[in-house]
Structure 1
Amino acid sequence: MAQIITPLTVVDIEQETQAFDSNKNIPLSFFNDHVVRVGVMTEPFYWHYHPNSDETFLVTEGILLIDLEDRTVELKPGQLFTIPANVNHRTRPLGGRSVNLTFELAGMETVRNTELT
């Protein structure tokens, strides 16, 4: 299982994620009042929003789909996308697996939106 990486340490994302074959969201590093997480996605995450934080995704493996209320954004490795606070969204991998880094407020709240399916 991955651990929180201490400052001044090189992080090998591939090594940190190779053992996971199901959804995982692992904090890697904290900076100021934010956190960097690595997310391994093998199935869709539910519709939700974050009232107190933007959320930025950077894909490192596979393709990540981000469903918004009016469109779907497709991110490939090396592509980055930011979702502002209070915007409903859900994430899901295209194919079997995607891996992404997320950058967000460490105390970010997640509110599930059961009105969207």
Structure 2
Amino acid sequence: MKAISLTEKFQLINEHWRPKVVAELNGQAVKLVKFEGTFPWHHHDREDELFLVWRGAMTVEFRDRVVALKAGEMCVVPKGIEHRTKAESEAEVLIFEPAATRNTGNVEDEIFTAPDDVKL
């Protein structure tokens, strides 16, 4: 039980699309990630995902709509829904999801699939 400085933790991240775990609770992980560019289309069979923008702006694209998010806004992507994330310039984002969730869901991608359970 200690305070976690998100500003300090984000300063430790020097790559895009590689979530880092900063906290865990009830089988869920709180992950920090920096986005820039466009992530591949994917879905998660069993997990919902929550994206909360800390700094910058991003979009969550669905096949039938786009949800634009800026700092202080969030979006929940229900399990099974195909989506991709995008940021025109660097965005700092918190992700809340079950701890074992692979960032690319049903897709294995040599560039975007991040190692599991990397902690800050």
Candidates 11, 14, 18, aligned match of 1:18: 11
Contact 1:50/1:85 (8 A) holds in 2: yes
Residue 42 (str. 1) matches residue 36 (str. 2): yes
Residue 53 (str. 1) matches residue 47 (str. 2): yes
Give structure 2 stretches of 5+ with no counterpart: 109-120
Deviations 1:61-84 (A, max 9, x none): 000111101111110111111000
C-alpha root-mean-square deviation of aligned residues, in Å?
1.8
TM-score (norm 1): 0.82
More strand by share: 1
Residue 84 (str. 1) matches residue 56 (str. 2): no
User: What corresponds to 2:112 in structure 1?
Assistant: none
Candidates 72, 76, 99, aligned match of 2:92: 99
Candidates 31, 53, 66, aligned match of 2:60: 66
Instruction: Provide the C-alpha distance between the structure 1 equivalents of 2:47 and 2:2, rounded to a whole number of angstroms.
Output: 26
Deviation at 1:112, TM superposition (A): 2.1
Instruction: Provide the C-alpha distance between the structure 2 equivalents of 1:80 and 1:62, rounded to a whole number of angstroms.
Output: 12
User: What corresponds to 1:111 in structure 2?
Assistant: 106
Deviation at 1:22, TM superposition (A): 2.9
CA 1:21–1:92: 2 relative to 1, 3 Å: farther
SS class of match (1:48) = coil
SS class of match (1:42) = strand
Instruction: Provide the C-alpha distance between the structure 1 equivalents of 2:20 and 2:37, rounded to a whole number of angstroms.
Output: 16
Give structure 1 stretches of 5+ with no counterpart: 1-7
Instruction: Provide the C-alpha distance between the structure 2 equivalents of 1:39 and 1:20, rounded to a whole number of angstroms.
Output: 8
Identity of aligned residues (%): 26
TM-score (norm 2): 0.81
How many correspondences in the alignment? 106
Instruction: Provide the C-alpha distance between the structure 1 equivalents of 2:85 and 2:96, rounded to a whole number of angstroms.
Output: 15
